[in-house]
Amino acid sequence: MDRIALLKNPIQEYRWGSRTAIPSLLGLPSPSERPAAELWLGAHPKAPSRVRVDGMWQSLDKVIERNPDSVLGKRIAERFSRTLPFLFKILAADCPLSIQVHPSLEQARAGFARENRLGIALDAAERNYRDPNHKPEILCAITRFEALKGFRPPQDVLKLLGRVCDEALSHELALLRKAPDGLGLRQLLTSLLSMDSFRKGCVIERAVEGASQCADMDRAFWWVMELKGSYPEDIGVLSPLIFNLVALEPGEAIFIPAGELHTYLKGMGMELMANSDNVLRGGLTPKHVDVPELLMIMDFRFMHPQKLRPEPGRQPAERIYDTPAAEFQLSAIGVSEGISFLSERDRSVDILICMEGSARIQGLKNSDSESLEKGMSVLIPAAVGPYQIVGEATLYRATVGRHS
């Protein structure tokens, strides 16, 4: 396969999604009848994109299976077992996603094999590992975006929880004061997730009552009340007081490594990750929660979250978000009069989506080209070689990582 090809991408209709953000981008009726949570651009077997080849729409995973070297490039095909190593998404959250963590590669392989041996169906609700891959990811804000990322330092947790439910959690807070480290955070979270329903209800009510008196002091308290409205019986209501609350402005990003507990609260963003759908959930969800497995793979180190800002690429049109991931690299491309984009000569597979304006993509080895408008996307196989983008447009580019 040596042609630039248009993509048709599946929409995931999860309950937390927006009825306007993705439909408006794609030129569909807005608001939509059902929440449009994620647009998937990739070859994950759960929901692969379709690609136009020889005048026919074909499943991208099957196209790659038949043409791994021409689509991915020979080196990348060998490196990643003849599969597309990344999954590109647009995520649009009108309300919070589940509290979650993703496994490491070793944990994913072991968990996937174990659940296969137990005969758990891949689409079973109680399945934890749906593929044998890890899922590091980057989230880049398109609109203002709020998220929880990693544990707060223990002293901050003590201060925030102590302000709203010191008596209700006196035992847990005493343990954390005695061990203000990763062990203390593990003990705190284990106790919260293991509470009986009566005590859990009392803790939630006390925390929400206290948060209502402090909402103007810290946005974390506002989020406690907001989460209570959607999940009144879920101890995850306390999560903004335990995990770092991050607000991203458009263009800012965060990187989520294996083991780091996080959730996305509200906003629209570009999400790029290793090609996996493995999620271990800890709350704020009606879906399966496996507390022992979650605690086993979670990283309990506390941290101050770092925002990623794009670095200049080889040319003025491209700005790159650098991460340690081998599977993917995200960049923003802005073309205008006098500023075009020219890809590398030695490149692998690219997926591009146009977010604003219009552009033309031209292969330099032949006359192959495609025009893109807002919401349109393309696959550019490795066999196309170098290409140029001209026009007046903002695009995002997903490709294989620099470190692969």
**Bridge partners of residue 126, in order along the sequence:** none
Asked if residue 364 is part of any domain, the answer here is: yes
> Which pLDDT value is given to residue 367?
78
> Which pLDDT value is given to residue 404?
64
**Bridge partners of residue 369, in order along the sequence:** 362
Catalytic positions are: 281
Asked if residue 389 is part of any domain, the answer here is: yes
Number of domains in the chain: 1
Asked if residue 390 is part of any domain, the answer here is: yes
**Bridge partners of residue 164, in order along the sequence:** none
In the predicted model, residues of the chain with pLDDT beneath 70 are: 404
Task: Please write down the HEC assignment for all residues of the chain.
Answer: CCCCEEEECCEECCCCEECCHHHHHHCCCCCCCCCECEEEECCCCCCCCEEEECCEEEEHHHHHHHCHHHHHCHHHHHHCCCCCCEEEEEEEECCCCCEEECCCHHHHHHHHHHHHHCCCCCCCCCCCCCCCCCCCEEEEECCCEEEEEEECCHHHHHHHHHHHHCCCCHHHHHHHHHCCCHHHHHHHHHHHHHCCHHHHHHHHHHHHHHHHCCCCCCHHHHHHHHHHHHCCCCHHHHHHHHEEEEEECCCCEEEECCCCCEEEEEEEEEEEEECCCCCEEEECCCCCCCHHHHHHHCCCCECCCCCECCEECCCCCEEEECCCCCCCEEEEEEEECCECEECCCCCCCEEEEEEEEEEEEEECCCCCEEEEECCCEEEECHHHCCEEEEEEEEEEEEECCCCC
Identify the CA nearest to 352 among candidates 308, 401, 402, 394.
Answer: 394
CATH number at residue 335: 2.60.120.10
Asked if residue 380 is part of any domain, the answer here is: yes
Asked if residue 342 is part of any domain, the answer here is: yes
Give long-range contacts, CB 8 A cutoff, 24+ apart: 103-106: 103/129, 103/134, 103/135, 103/258, 103/259, 103/278, 103/280, 103/297, 104/134, 104/258, 104/259, 104/297, 105/133, 105/134, 105/258
Asked if residue 347 is part of any domain, the answer here is: yes
How many Cβ atoms sit within 10 Å of the Cβ of residue 191? 16
Asked if residues 356 and 394 have their Cβ atoms less than 8 Å apart, the reply is: yes
Asked if residue 362 is part of any domain, the answer here is: yes
Can you give the residue range of the structural domain that contains 378?
311-399
> Which pLDDT value is given to residue 314?
87
Asked if residues 107 and 75 have their Cβ atoms less than 8 Å apart, the reply is: no
How many Cβ atoms sit within 10 Å of the Cβ of residue 117? 8
Asked if residue 317 is part of any domain, the answer here is: yes
Report the predicted TM-score, pTM, of the whole model to 2 decimal places: 0.93
For the chain, give the longest Cα–Cα distance.
Answer: 72
Per-residue pLDDT of 223-242, as tens digits, reads 999 999 989 999 999 999 99
